[in-house]
Amino acid sequence: MRTIIVLLLLANLSLFGYIKLDQVGGGEGVRLTQQVLPDKIRLLSPREVAALGPSKVAALADVCVEWGPFSDADRTRAMNDLTPLALGTLLSQRRQDVSGAFGVMADGFVNRSAAERRATELRARDIGEVTVQDLGKGQFGLLFGVFHSEDAAKARIALLASYGTDNARIVPRQQTLSQTFIVVRDPQAPTVSRLKDLQPAYPGADLKIGGCDSKAA
């Protein structure tokens, strides 16, 4: 019976995390009414939970939040941001290879020193990956990461523009890119809240909630 009660608590925590994650644009009361019909929700007793059977109870508790995708540089930064939560074994990572990626580059630097100076300024703003690229013929550029979709690349360009770099552009890169998703199992309310607070700092990385993927490690 104690195991059933623990699973029941996990299920309710997962439901609460889903509600918190999905509250975007609108007051909490309004969103709750629109999406989950609170008048239809009731807490099951331990006896009712037991009647569902072990497999259904396990499915209720097996909920994960997936955050990403991230480049290697952004993954390291995001993992550091999550360290204070002390998630332990609830935190895992899932790797995925993506073909036909999109790079974001700003060029027009007349020498490496000028490119390095601008790269240092932007790194101080903690915007993610910045690397100096030798473009040949004495020209240098800055590469701001490679992204899995054009929308993600456009989001990085918008962020760069807000910091005064308005000449960034998308550069198609025909390559296989390995990216990472961060996965949190059975997220509780403080974890969901922290993920939503961090999301604006990582353009192109989405938050999704659903069943846990056994491939995450």
* Sequence ranges of the domains in the chain: 2-69+183-211, 96-178
| Average pLDDT in the chain | 74
Question: Distance between CA atoms of 203 and 149, rounded to whole angstroms?
Answer: 11
DSSP 8-state class, residue 203: T
Q: What 3-state class would DSSP assign to 91?
A: strand
Nearest to 17 by CA among 76, 66, 54, 81: 66
Quick one: CA torsion of 144, 145, 148, 149, rounded to 10 degrees? Answer: 10
41-45, 87-91, 95-99, 146-150: which is most confident: 87-91
Domain 96-178 in this protein, CATH class: alpha beta
DSSP 8-state class, residue 93: E
Nearest to 4 by CA among 88, 42, 60: 60
Can you tell me the mean pLDDT for 200-213? 80
Can you tell me the mean pLDDT for 57-82? 80
**pLDDT greater at residue 7 or residue 165:** 165
**Predicted confidence (pLDDT) per residue in 108-142, tens digit:** 888 989 999 998 998 888 777 788 888 888 889 99
Can you tell me the mean pLDDT for 179-195? 89
Quote the pLDDT of residue 108. Answer: 86
Can you tell me the mean pLDDT for 89-99? 84
Measured on CA atoms in the order 48, 50, 52, 56, is the torsion positive or negative?
positive
How does residue 95 score in pLDDT terms, banded at 50, 70 and 90? confident
DSSP 8-state class, residue 49: H
List, in sequence order, every beta strand (DSSP E) within the chain. 63-70, 91-109, 131-136, 139-147, 169-185, 206-211
